[in-house]
Amino acid sequence: MLVGYARTSTTEQAAGLDAQRRDLKASGCEELFEEQVSSVQRREELEKALKFVRKGDTLVVTKLDRLARSVPDLVKIMERLEGRGASLRILAMNLDTNTPTGRLLLNLVGSVAQFEREVMLERQREGIAKAKEEGKYKGRAMTARAKSDDVLRLYKAGKGASEIAVKLGIGRASVYRILKDQQHRYENTVT
């Protein structure tokens, strides 16, 4: 049986999911698992697909990046498939791990994909460092710290940390951090 798996990173990518669904059905997939979740999050539909496949089945994806986030992730997925007696087919590469050549090519392609991602991340870090040097990159604004005055006002009014967090839309840990910082400032000015 051919079992399809389709994934997009966000819900805004409906057209991408539709295209994957179309291609998987056209390739003969009888069962289809799909989700709209980032590859770094828990992929529940992928888990279901990996538990669903049986001996002789083939898991089909349109592209490698729809399945695995890294070479180690790909290796784990392949081990699970092989442990169930199933194989993997990647439509965009016309690659099928039912053959020794297909398994070799999958390992090579996976390594190249991981290399490309690492190079991209390195360039991104270099770009951020350069932008910081030029004063153009400030990073993400600290949202909770910007509400310090409100946290202190509500705390002095007798509100608890959980209530303050909900009211201001910040985490309870952030409330405690702000209160702790305020206490340190007070202690340093008294001594």
Question: What CATH number corresponds to the domain at position 182?
Answer: 1.10.10.60
| Phi, psi (deg, nearest 5) at residue 90 | -115, 110
Of 78, 96, 116, at which residue does a domain stop? 116
Contact 90, 63 (CB under 8 A): yes
Work out whether the CA dihedral 185, 189, 190, 191 comes out positive or negative. Answer: positive
List the CATH number of the domain containing 13.
Answer: 3.40.50.1390
Domain count, the chain: 2
- Identify whether residues 178 and 112 lie together within a single domain: no
Within a domain: 175: yes
- Identify whether residues 83 and 24 lie together within a single domain: yes
What was the pLDDT predicted at 141?
A: 66
Q: State which residues form the domain around 30.
A: 2-116
- Identify whether residues 23 and 102 lie together within a single domain: yes
Contact 64, 112 (CB under 8 A): no
The low-confidence residues of the chain, meaning pLDDT below 50, are none
- Identify whether residues 154 and 81 lie together within a single domain: no
pLDDT tens per residue across span 11-25: 677 788 899 999 999
- Identify whether residues 103 and 149 lie together within a single domain: no
Within a domain: 127: no
- Identify whether residues 100 and 12 lie together within a single domain: yes
Measured distance CA(24)–CA(4) in Å, rounded = 6
What was the pLDDT predicted at 30?
A: 95
Within a domain: 23: yes
What are the residue numbers of the active site? 9
- Identify whether residues 14 and 91 lie together within a single domain: yes
- Identify whether residues 108 and 183 lie together within a single domain: no
Within a domain: 152: yes
Of 71, 101, 116, at which residue does a domain stop? 116
What was the pLDDT predicted at 122?
A: 92
- Identify whether residues 63 and 109 lie together within a single domain: yes
